[in-house]
Amino acid sequence: MILLNERLKAVAQLVPKNAKVIDVGCDHAYLSIYLKQHHIATKVVASDNKEGPLREAQKNIKREKVDVETLLADGVSKIPDDIDTVVVSGMGGGNIIGMFKYTPEKLQNVKTLVLSPNNDLIRVRKEISKLGFYIEDETLVKYKNIIYVVMKWQRGKRRIRKKECIYGPILAKKKGPLFQEYLSSSIKQKELLLKVLPKKYWLRRIQIQHEIKMLKDILK
C-alpha cells in the first residue's frame, strides 16, 4: 500500500467518494495509486507533461497492481470526457490559473477541483471563482515546516468577496489549529516582499499593504 505525505493525504481527503479523477502533474502517481487503493475514486488518470515522471508513475502503478491509467499531456488539454474531478497539487498558482483559464471548454464535464497551489493563492481564489466554481471546503496542512492550503471547488456560482480571496472563506470560518500560524506566516512573507519591492511599483505596494492590514485584522 502507498503511504502519502501529509500534504497529499490532505488532498486525498477532499476528493469526493466515487469520483472519476485526473491527477494533473502526477509525478510518481502516489496520489493516483492511493485513491484507487483506498476505493476513493472509481477511475483515476495519472497525467504529466514529462515522459520521465510518467515512466516512474507507470512503474509504480505496475508494482502496486492497481487500475490507474496514464496520460502524457499538458495540463487538462487531453482530459477524458468522463472525468468529473481534477486534482492539482504542488504546482504554481499561475500555472494552475493558466491551465484552466485558457481552456475552459475542457472543464465542461468537471464538477470538482481539488487544488493545492504552491503560491499565488489570492489570484487562484479570484480567477477560479470566475470559471463557475465556488470553494466548498479548505484545509491547512503542515509539511516540511511549510503550511499549505488545500481547496475543494464545486461547480456552481457563489460570490467570493475580495477579502475572502486573501484569507480563504472557509479557513476563516474553521479557524483550525494552524490558522493563526498560517496568517502570521503570510503577513511576514508580505512584509518581506514590501521591503524589497521598489517604490516605483507603488500600486502593488498599496495592494500588499492592504492585504497585510486585512490579515492583521483577522488575527486580532
What CATH number should be reported for the domain holding residue 34? 3.40.50.150
pLDDT of residue 138: 97
184, 156: one domain: no
How many folded domains does the chain comprise? Answer: 2
Cα→Cα distances 202→51, 75, 120, 209, Å: 43, 35, 19, 10
137, 193: one domain: no
150, 187: one domain: no
Query: What does pTM read for this prediction?
Result: 0.94
The whole-number average pLDDT for the span 92-108 is 93
170: in domain: no
Q: What is the DSSP string of 95-141?
A: HHHHHHHT-GGGGTT--EEEEE-SS-HHHHHHHHHTTTEEEEEEEEE
53: in domain: yes
Distance CA 84, CA 86 (A): 7
74: in domain: yes
**Residue 16 has what DSSP assignment?**
P
Contact assessment for residue 134 and residue 112, using Cβ atoms and an 8 Å cutoff: no
Contact assessment for residue 220 and residue 180, using Cβ atoms and an 8 Å cutoff: no
Range of the domain at 155: 6-160
Cα→Cα distances 135→18, 30, 46, 91, 162, Å: 20, 25, 24, 19, 14
19, 127: one domain: yes
100: in domain: yes
pLDDT of residue 210: 93
135: in domain: yes
133, 186: one domain: no
22, 122: one domain: yes
166: in domain: no
64, 89: one domain: yes
CA R_g for the chain: 18
Residue 176: pLDDT band with limits 50, 70, 90: confident
Residue 142: pLDDT band with limits 50, 70, 90: very high
25, 128: one domain: yes
**Average pLDDT over the chain, rounded to an integer:** 95
155, 186: one domain: no
37, 62: one domain: yes
211, 128: one domain: no
